[in-house]
Amino acid sequence: MGDRPVIGITSYVEPVTRGDWAGQHSTVLPHAYVEHVERAGGIAVVLPPRLDAEDTLVAGLLARLDGVVIAGGADVEPSRYAAVPDSRAQSPRPDRDAFELAVARVTAQTGQPLLGICRGMQVMAVAAGGALEQHVPDRVGHDAHSPTPGVHASHHVRPVEGTQLASILGTDVLDVPTYHHQAVRTHPGYAASAWHEDGTLEAMEDTAYPLRLAVQWHPEAGTDGRLFDALVEACDSRTRRG
């Protein structure tokens, strides 16, 4: 590998208290994302959201990057996919929605490698014209996907044989970190690439691109770094091809 690929990771802007500084407006991202990108050989750059994001602005930003991770976080605003909010929907983050939906649209044009994680998978589906399931326990009758507030659980997923995801992670059942109460319901242009045994879609991909892949679980919260390895390798290969 020559120059290390530069990977942008989306983030929050939230009030944070540190020491004597209470409620300071801060750009926030769990550092585990950065650690995984750096361990895989990339250089991580944190991308704060912008409420004024539009495709031209985001295209100029992404031209400086080799690839992107759309990170996990709060629910996508239901109006973005023409739905009425469920009473259990989280408070919207308009700045993240605007910015990350533009990232999903622009990378579809540029072909830059993109990895969506949890919310990131949902953003990618919505940007493509898809829709979300607003409260998974209503369908499945259990809360295994997110049983304890503020704590990652684990559950099984099975990659679909013959998919790009399976080429990265294999086809055996995986035990993955999970924390979500919503899921992708429709995903135009993406193929399903992993499922939970209860019928919840757990990954999707578009193999028209070197790597355009999303997972509903939280690989950054675990020790299996193969998805981040695949992202950095896709960026490096794209750079070598020019």
Catalytic residue among 77, 100, 220, 233: 220
- Asked if 218 is an active-site residue, the reply is yes
Catalytic residue among 118, 181, 202, 235: 118
- Asked if 118 is an active-site residue, the reply is yes
Q: What residues does 59 pair with on adjacent strands?
A: none
- Asked if 54 is an active-site residue, the reply is no
Rounded distance between C-alpha atoms, residue 24 and residue 13, angstroms? 10
50, 62 contact by CB (below 8 A): no
Catalytic residue among 187, 218, 233, 235: 218
Three-state SS string across 4-28, please? Answer: CCEEEEECEEEEEEECCEEEEEEEE
Active site residues: 118, 218, 220
